[in-house]
Chain A
């Protein structure tokens, strides 16, 4: 509770900024005579959006499922490949450069293809989310598992411990901070991937909703959809950040920010 108060106290400038931002938005609409089919006011978004609440909540669930499923699969694959590549010199010379070169192509460009291959269902969306999340996770994991200091490597070698033991006692915990850099980046990408996949071909989900209502000249509802998408994205990112705090409370960079 004390922490919460402190957090509010330290965040008051941000809160003030947001309040100011929305007030400006609300009152500049009549002031500049902006038509509502171009940009609705926040109060109208809330009003019209709440009439459509059932649909919005359901679609949020649909998009959340695609995002979370894809993210978890990418996490497992990314860390798995990351570890395999850091421990095998053959994979390091084959798969790793392959991944690096694929990283350069915008993965989202594959989305229409996947939709045409796998149809309108859940699977193509999950695949696209996996695709946009996998690369930041795997590349950071490779970096993470390869950056153990020389001294620590020599130290554990001098103990004669098995590879398995040193992996869990030293390599894995040492790699977690860098892994989380990838996890967090991927968490931001995940909802983006799901939304664009839904734009391209779907019959439900927030991306579907936003593209339909925009086509119907209802920017108020589009903003309501964007709001739910933002909440979804923040929730996922917040969860990953929380896991980071639980798993690696010792991590210095976090301690510095908290101070």
Chain B
């Protein structure tokens, strides 16, 4: 049986002639349905480029992306997407922003009210449903953006450093929220990050990307039970994973 997501010899070169930037690849990645995969690499190695190509939002130079055997050419719409800079619009409340996802997809808002309430509650935002984004802290905004990316129950969720701008404590908290939601719905997640701990804590598998042009150095299966709470993070095995990944990047001179 073929994999749920197959990325084959995917490569991206921006510009041409002297301005040419080889941003990513070629790289081959397979992802199973329901898997939580982290893409870990130094900044500028082409992680965002990879993610956009997987989402069909950026054309590749060569190679292909397939979802359930169908080649992606053009934006994929059965996905949820989230970036470091969130996609909340300032003229809508938290609820309104979640509804924006539904409205753009032509879904019936009435059918989703219960669901919106539930998802907001699950990330402790139920009291802030009628607040505007600029009235929320950075962490709350990212939680709201996560609800926005999840509300239509996408089979695939693409997260590009969604916690990148948050302080360490908030990151920790939101990580736990993400994990909780993922464990309930089990969507396939591709999570781009440059935090080793974050990748190990959340993922079934971590894909290590070399400095630009990003290629796959290796993949590491994280064999730890969910939910990965504080106790697991203190375990010897967790530390071992973190250390082994650190060694890889140390070898490249990026840490």
Contact = CB atoms under 8 A, between A and B. Distances in A.
A and B together in one complex: yes
25 contacts: A149-B85, A151-B86, A152-B87, A152-B89, A154-B55, A154-B83, A154-B87, A157-B57, A158-B57, A158-B75, A158-B77, A158-B79, A159-B101, A160-B105, A161-B104, A161-B105, A161-B106, A165-B103, A165-B104, A166-B104, A169-B100, A170-B100, A248-B91, A251-B90, A252-B134
Given A159-B105, A160-B105, A154 B89 contact: no
B181 interface: no
A171 to B, nearest CB: 11
A156 interface: yes
A131 B134 CA distance: 38
Contacts of A161: 104-106
A159 B152 CA distance: 10
> Helix, strand, loop or mixed for chain A's interface?
helix
> Helix, strand, loop or mixed for chain B's interface?
loop
A173 B83 contact: no
B104 A154 contact: no
B100 to A, nearest CB: 7
Contact of B87 (A155, A166, A248): A155
B77 A160 contact: yes
Nearest to B107: A159
Nearest to A249: B91
Given A151-B86, A154-B55, A250-B134, 4 more contacts: A151-B87, A155-B81, A155-B87, A156-B104
A75 interface: no
A174 interface: yes
A165 B100 CA distance: 11
Contacts of A157: 57, 75
Contact of A158 (B76, B100, B103): B76
